[in-house]
Structure 1
Amino acid sequence: MLSTLARAATRRPLTVILLWVLFLLLGFGLGTGVFARLSDNVPEVPGTESERAAQYLDRADPTGRSLIGVVEAEAVSDPDLRGEVERAVADVRAIDGVAAVPDPYATGGLTAGDGQALLIPVTLEGGLDDAAEERAVDAAADRLKEIDAPGVHVSGGPLLGKQLGERAQQDVANAELISLPVVLALLLVVFGGLRAAGLPLLVAVSGIAGAFLALFAFSQFTDISVYAIQVTTMLGLGLAVDYALLMVVRFREERRRTEDVTEAVHRTVAAAGRTVLFSGLTVAVSLTGLLVFRSVFLRSMGLAVAAVVVIDMLAALTLLPALLARFGGRIAPAKERPDGAEGRLFARLARFSVRRRVAVLATVVPALLVLALPVTSLTINIGDARQLPTDTEARQLYDTVEAHFPAGAGVDPVTVVAGADTGPATIGRVLALSPAAHSRELPDGTTVISLPPTGSVDGAAATELVKMVRELRGDEPVQVTGTAARLVDFREMLAERAPWAAVTVLAGIFALLFAFTGSVLIPLRTIVTTLLSLGAALGVVVWVFQDGHLAGLLGAEGLGALSLTAPPLIVAIAFGLAMDYELFILARMREARQLTGDDEEAVVTGLRRSGRVVTCAALLLAVVFGAFMTGGFSPILQIGLGLTLAVLIDATIVRMLLVPATMSLLGHRAWWAPKALRRAHDRYGLREEAPAERELAAQS
């Protein structure tokens, strides 16, 4: 299969390149339309009580969503300012699609006690289509911002998703401006020439275009989170560089063995291409665990990121061979080095770990477990505007309300939907749960009760309110929705589906690693060591962002919980990336073992030949993830830090110390498999003939 791809790419390289250019134009043209379709509705879980109640309100409630403006001044009672506000309120009321705008001066709770701020809530009509809602929101926001006051901020509701989408587009552009030049500089150091360094960047640009196009395609069928764009783009860029780096390094080695560029490309695809293929499949399988969850966000992320990984893999196996066939003759072969000089540092590390395997295990494993300890206290929340950068409109509105109004002002209430047949006693007990509770009746007789919680929108008090309502309702037709209810349902969904997701991913990874190695012990050893590095990285993220240690250095703050988007994505993506480096190393170990038959020397040789590529790839990925962390969104900071740490810990401590130590401890048993499985692997496993094998066959 890989040989067929290599022949196709080298036979008509210009055709292949032209097809990829068309793909790039499509990705950067049509694909960027996804920025206008991003959603901030992350915790939606179809079929849950909170979602059913929300859908019912969408149909039955004559009022729709709302946005809010806050005006800040030395004295909001100033006659001139009051006139400005009253004229703006009257104009907003007259906008098509606006249902109600209360008088902030005559409505209790809308003017701050210190007299320096006031709130202007704008409620939209129910049943508006997307275009009508967007026109109403834009017109209302524009008119409120015309108020002549020292501070005017408008956000919330449908406006929040639009603001976050615009900020996401800006952050992606800034991250690319930062990361691409740094990546190019590092590649120049690695390869020592612009031609070789430029090829991985061309593949990386394909990964970015693929990310945009995949997200745009999925946005036609499901909601795409505002955070998805950064995650898929950073992963698409990072993996593309990884795969291209591996292929170009191998191509330069093969150029040292043959002057025929086409033959060098075929050898490269046969050896490194096999690793890229399995790596891409392994990362994609790691992300299938997200499909097990009943979350629209997690499923769409799993599909989109897996699609980006496959695009990167295809670019490395088709576009890069075509570029090498066309321009590879101008790339200098790898320099000849004396025996033992290549990868000397990594060979020393491997020999040290082999000789001191028990000491390495006794030191490294406890250290990683200590780093992972904070995971035991991990909690997730939907979060509030504190997750956003301080210069975003929503965060400025939040900070203004926090500074001038009592705690809990502006917090979304717990919403209780009591059917027409609900008894008065039950409604009374629900109303008694909050001193600020209030109710209203819909045209069909349904009672909607709002229970403002103390504290944050998804804090302990809010989620406890949800549980109390669900306990006291008995058999009455009462449902609970709102932000806190969605969080409770999301947590229950995670707890229910997480074991199935883990089984799905581990079974898939085991099958792929067995197909790659023909061993049953290496997959088990790989899974255990990978879980150690993953636990350590996630533990540090909890310590920083949940507990607040050193969070200020990253421009964040301790929020008492992680974003509900962060842990599942960190686990799924980091697990796949760890498999990436494992396969890079195992491929070289396998080649060395086939040549020499010496298990211990194969471990040393495998690490000596792959250590430089793995280290460079990890460093390049860290640069990419770090660039995306400059945007300031707390969920992206959490995901970026988690993936950066997972990659660096895995590529250094785990792959350079734990892997050789455990492989040495297993010895020849590492490659063992039962006879039946061994026959199945020999018959069905993907077995591309490596260059070293061909050279031996030619000499015999």
Structure 2
Amino acid sequence: MARVFPRLGRLVAHHPRLTVVVWLVLTVAGYGLAVLGVQGETLFDRVATGAPGVAGAESTQGQELLAGARTTGPSVTLVLDGVDPATPELGAALDPARGALAAVDGVAAVIDPLALPQGPANPAAAPLLAEDGDGFLVVVELEPDLGAAAQDEALAAVEERLREVPGELRTLAPDVSGVVGAEHLVVEEITDQVEEDLRTGELVALPIALVVMVLVFGGFLAAAMPMAGALASIAGGLGSLLALTYLMDVEASVVNVVTVLGLGLSIDYGLLVVSRFREELHRRVDDDGGAGSRRRRGDGAVVAAVEATMATAGRTVAFSAVTVAIAIAGLLAFRPEILRAIAAAGLLVVLVAAATALTLVPALLTLAGRRLAREGVLARIPGVRRVLARASDVRHDEGAFSALAARVQRRPWWVMLGACAVLVVLALPVLRMDLRISGIELLPSGTTQREYVAALEEDYAGASAPAVTVVAAASLEEAGAWAQELASLDGVASVDPPTPSGSYVVLGVRPDSDDPGGDVAVDVVREVRALDAPFERWVVGQAASQIDFTDALAERAPLALTVVAVATLLLLFLMTGSVVIPLKALLTNTLSILASLGVLVWAFQDGHLEGLLGFTSTGGIETYVLALVVAFAFGLAMDYEVFLLARVKELHDSGHRTDEAVRLGLQRSGRIITSAAAIIVVVFAGFVAGELVVIKQVGFALAVAVVIDATIVRLLLVPATMTILDRANWWAPRPLRRLHERFAILH
């Protein structure tokens, strides 16, 4: 095992151009497939959008029954506002639109209150009339058995024609306006927003990340190496996601989430490899007082530096990737399909990020060669030289980080207790975390489909869907009798009359609250489910889905956490030979994650950062965001743990005392950890700049987790605890020491 990474480094160093060409082809293919697609279907055409569900759960079964019982095709609705339905000649003015819509192939019915006998006075028109009397609905239903192509063509024609209606009515109603809405338009708007947020995140993150790396490395050439790896990783990740959509349903937001992860990890790993290469290269060429950097290319210094880099930093990258993969793989233990999709996609992206760092980046380093040992052009600018010298120095064991470690080591108990106290205070809001599964609320305010849904909820109670729906295998009479019991439950404002849906009956239950996922709706769902019924029934809706999703998380969480914890303990033991360090890592990382979740609750659930981050609070944290953030944040925390421990272990094995190994290890790895953290925070912050609330929550939580881990935990808490434990850091029972001697993962 110890020889694998030097051999890989030697192989890449002897074939750098071939390696670069292979990755160039893969990158172009990845971007091309994601953007152009297979047979005309791009990645964004193939992703799904909808409320996350749990296979086999009551809410999911009920939704499937409703979908299977539908006797009509999809519908498109025009919400007209600023027009009195009783306006004379209004019905005649709508005749051309009615005729044109009815003539569209695939249209089954065109429904509006003015076409009914007696017009708006007909009792059947009530659900189609605005409660304030200043608008009405036009609903177009399609035939149920249209093929996909015919249905898409019909929907497009109907949407286009409905959007023309308000303009045709302005001679009779000058203030009329209209919004066209439909279920598939909500899906399209969310998918389009995902794609736009992805572009926004990349446009914000990549330039700033490049600037940070220029400061870290002192020039553009070295900074370009991790960026090249990042671009290749994004392409590989997008191509992998497209392939994954042919194996399972992939939710649209998964694209952004795993892209963020791949971008951050590839830059992290690239930073580590490039920094170690420059260190190894300086060690080989600086013996001549700087003249070595001008010696001939064939003396083997560059190849030797690549081999040494792969033996150390390459091993660390591979080990880190395994720990991150283990954390993400824990999501596979859960039942919700969205978590399994995130896990599968995340594992693919981690693999691609590690592959670019272990092959593409070393190949580029080989081609750049000794130029990376010279000062960059920026270092010749007055004033900049001093900044770069402090930020990019890789040759000295004394500096800001070793000085910080020395100060921590003078008062380790105070530092440890203070750091723990800060983390506990930050974590306290977790105690009031409210988990949600939001729908249209995820879209930013002001979007067309959010306006459409808001208009229905505000003025068309009869046409809007109830917050809680009961699907009953009963007759209308049985369901009607049971509806009286439902109406008497606490928190129930009203119950809609039972309506047939295929072989089932549907009862709409309207809680005494406008929040479909709030506490009142959740309590109503629990009460309805607890109520005895003389027939089989299924309760569905946003609150029902929240309950089922949360229960599914709670059911499998012990298994997922146990698997991740055991695997992490085993890997860190094989790396360090200690049982103390792995246990300490689990405890500190857990405290760090809880702190980041506490900040997330304070910012998003409590809404304290609504104005700054540009969102409207949904009143909770998206349910699957909790599982995702815990998995990803733990993986990233282990990423930085491995970065630091690899250097400390290396120094300790070479004969340094534990306190010296910690101080020197922090100096040699602290710059990389801090720089990598700064860049990954920029990456996550770039996606906070998007519009979808769920992406904002993920980006914000992970950015906060990285900031907390790279500062409070990695720079203060870990050095303090390792100093306190001293030689006890490396303790293990004798049988385990023998096991480590046999199976250790060594340099």
Same-fold call, TM > 0.5?
yes
Matched, 1:44 2:59: no
Counterparts of 1:383-462 in structure 2 under 5 Å?
A: 383-401=438-456, 405=459, 410-420=464-474, 424-425=477-478, 427-430=480-483, 433-434=486-487, 435-443=494-502, 445-453=503-511, 454-462=513-521
Matched, 1:320 2:373: no
Query: Which residue in 1 is equivalent to 2:12?
Result: 9
Query: Which residue in 2 is equivalent to 1:154?
Result: 180
1:295-333 Cα deviation digits (max 9, x unpaired) = 111110111012101110011011111111222332225
Contact 1:137–1:158 at 8 Å: present in 2 too? Answer: no
Query: Which residue in 2 is equivalent to 1:505?
Result: 564
Matched, 1:610 2:669: yes
Cα distance in 1, alignment partners of residues 629 and 534 from structure 2:
40
2:234 counterpart SS class? helix
Counterparts of 1:475-494 in structure 2 under 5 Å?
A: 476-494=535-553
Corresponding residue to 1:21 among 24, 36, 54: 24
Compared with structure 1, are the counterparts of its residues 75 and 60 closer, same or farther at alpha carbon in structure 2 (3 Å cutoff)? Answer: closer
Compared with structure 1, are the counterparts of its residues 79 and 603 closer, same or farther at alpha carbon in structure 2 (3 Å cutoff)? Answer: farther
Shift of 1:263: 0.7
TM-score with structure 1 setting the length:
0.92
Cα distance in 2, alignment partners of residues 486 and 517 from structure 1:
44
Q: 1:571 is matched by which residue type in structure 2?
A: V
Matched, 1:167 2:193: yes
Choose 598-607 or 457-466, whichever is displaced more. Answer: 457-466
Where does structure 1 lack aligned partners over 5 or more consecutive residues?
689-700
TM-score with structure 2 setting the length:
0.86
Query: Which residue in 2 is equivalent to 1:344?
Result: 399
Corresponding residue to 1:627 among 676, 686, 702: 686
Counterparts of 1:568-647 in structure 2 under 5 Å?
A: 568-647=627-706
Corresponding residue to 2:327 among 283, 286, 289: 286
1:505-543 Cα deviation digits (max 9, x unpaired) = 212221221222221111110111111111111101111
Q: 1:312 is matched by which residue type in structure 2?
A: A
Cα distance in 1, alignment partners of residues 599 and 499 from structure 2:
46
Contact 2:480–2:498 at 8 Å: present in 1 too? Answer: no
Cα distance in 2, alignment partners of residues 89 and 362 from structure 1:
73
Compared with structure 1, are the counterparts of its residues 64 and 282 closer, same or farther at alpha carbon in structure 2 (3 Å cutoff)? Answer: farther
Matched, 1:531 2:590: yes
Choose 49-58 or 101-110, whichever is displaced more. Answer: 101-110
Counterparts of 1:152-231 in structure 2 under 5 Å?
A: 152-231=178-257
Compared with structure 1, are the counterparts of its residues 565 and 104 closer, same or farther at alpha carbon in structure 2 (3 Å cutoff)? Answer: farther
Cα distance in 2, alignment partners of residues 589 and 513 from structure 1:
13
Compared with structure 1, are the counterparts of its residues 339 and 298 closer, same or farther at alpha carbon in structure 2 (3 Å cutoff)? Answer: closer
Compared with structure 1, are the counterparts of its residues 425 and 359 closer, same or farther at alpha carbon in structure 2 (3 Å cutoff)? Answer: same
Corresponding residue to 2:581 among 497, 504, 522: 522
Contact 2:49–2:251 at 8 Å: present in 1 too? Answer: yes
Query: Which residue in 2 is equivalent to 1:140?
Result: 158
Shift of 1:544: 1.4
Query: Which residue in 2 is equivalent to 1:269?
Result: 310
Matched, 1:683 2:742: yes
Query: Which residue in 1 is equivalent to 2:283?
Result: 257
Percent identity reads: 39
Cα distance in 2, alignment partners of residues 677 and 156 from structure 1:
62
Matched, 1:329 2:332: no
Compared with structure 1, are the counterparts of its residues 5 and 582 closer, same or farther at alpha carbon in structure 2 (3 Å cutoff)? Answer: same
Choose 67-76 or 335-344, whichever is displaced more. Answer: 335-344
Cα distance in 2, alignment partners of residues 76 and 330 from structure 1:
77
Cα distance in 2, alignment partners of residues 520 and 413 from structure 1:
51
Q: 1:376 is matched by which residue type in structure 2?
A: L
Choose 656-665 or 147-156, whichever is displaced more. Answer: 147-156
Contact 1:585–1:611 at 8 Å: present in 2 too? Answer: yes
Contact 2:476–2:498 at 8 Å: present in 1 too? Answer: no
Contact 2:472–2:479 at 8 Å: present in 1 too? Answer: no
2:331 counterpart SS class? helix
1:417 counterpart SS class? strand
1:61-83 Cα deviation digits (max 9, x unpaired) = 32345454323336566568766
Query: Which residue in 2 is equivalent to 1:672?
Result: 731
Counterparts of 1:57-72 in structure 2 under 5 Å?
A: 57-72=66-81
Compared with structure 1, are the counterparts of its residues 113 and 58 closer, same or farther at alpha carbon in structure 2 (3 Å cutoff)? Answer: closer
Contact 1:36–1:162 at 8 Å: present in 2 too? Answer: no
Contact 1:423–1:476 at 8 Å: present in 2 too? Answer: no
Contact 1:431–1:451 at 8 Å: present in 2 too? Answer: no
Shift of 1:196: 0.6
Contact 1:581–1:614 at 8 Å: present in 2 too? Answer: yes
Q: 2:322 is matched by which residue type in structure 1?
A: L
Matched, 1:306 2:347: yes
Compared with structure 1, are the counterparts of its residues 78 and 641 closer, same or farther at alpha carbon in structure 2 (3 Å cutoff)? Answer: farther
Matched, 1:380 2:425: no
Q: 1:35 is matched by which residue type in structure 2?
A: F
Cα distance in 1, alignment partners of residues 435 and 354 from structure 2:
33
1:239-258 Cα deviation digits (max 9, x unpaired) = 11111011101111011112
Count of residues in Structure 1 that have an aligned counterpart in Structure 2:
685
Shift of 1:674: 1.8
Q: 2:473 is matched by which residue type in structure 1?
A: G
1:1-25 Cα deviation digits (max 9, x unpaired) = 2123212211222222121112111
Query: Which residue in 2 is equivalent to 1:563?
Result: 622
Corresponding residue to 2:419 among 330, 349, 364: 364
Cα distance in 1, alignment partners of residues 113 and 736 from structure 2:
74
Compared with structure 1, are the counterparts of its residues 338 and 512 closer, same or farther at alpha carbon in structure 2 (3 Å cutoff)? Answer: closer
Shift of 1:613: 0.7
Contact 1:179–1:623 at 8 Å: present in 2 too? Answer: yes
Q: 2:483 is matched by which residue type in structure 1?
A: V
Query: Which residue in 1 is equivalent to 2:490?
Result: none
Choose 201-210 or 174-183, whichever is displaced more. Answer: 174-183
Contact 1:161–1:226 at 8 Å: present in 2 too? Answer: no
Cα distance in 2, alignment partners of residues 436 and 608 from structure 1:
67
Cα distance in 1, alignment partners of residues 69 and 465 from structure 2:
23
Shift of 1:179: 1.6
Compared with structure 1, are the counterparts of its residues 125 and 547 closer, same or farther at alpha carbon in structure 2 (3 Å cutoff)? Answer: farther
Cα distance in 1, alignment partners of residues 698 and 152 from structure 2:
31
Cα distance in 2, alignment partners of residues 133 and 512 from structure 1:
53
Shift of 1:476: 2.1
Contact 1:66–1:122 at 8 Å: present in 2 too? Answer: yes
Compared with structure 1, are the counterparts of its residues 684 and 222 closer, same or farther at alpha carbon in structure 2 (3 Å cutoff)? Answer: same
Shift of 1:153: 2.7
Q: 1:281 is matched by which residue type in structure 2?
A: V
Contact 1:411–1:452 at 8 Å: present in 2 too? Answer: no
Where does structure 2 lack aligned partners over 5 or more consecutive residues?
36-41, 115-119, 168-175, 286-300, 376-388, 488-493
Choose 467-476 or 533-542, whichever is displaced more. Answer: 467-476
Cα distance in 1, alignment partners of residues 394 and 318 from structure 2:
30
Matched, 1:102 2:143: no
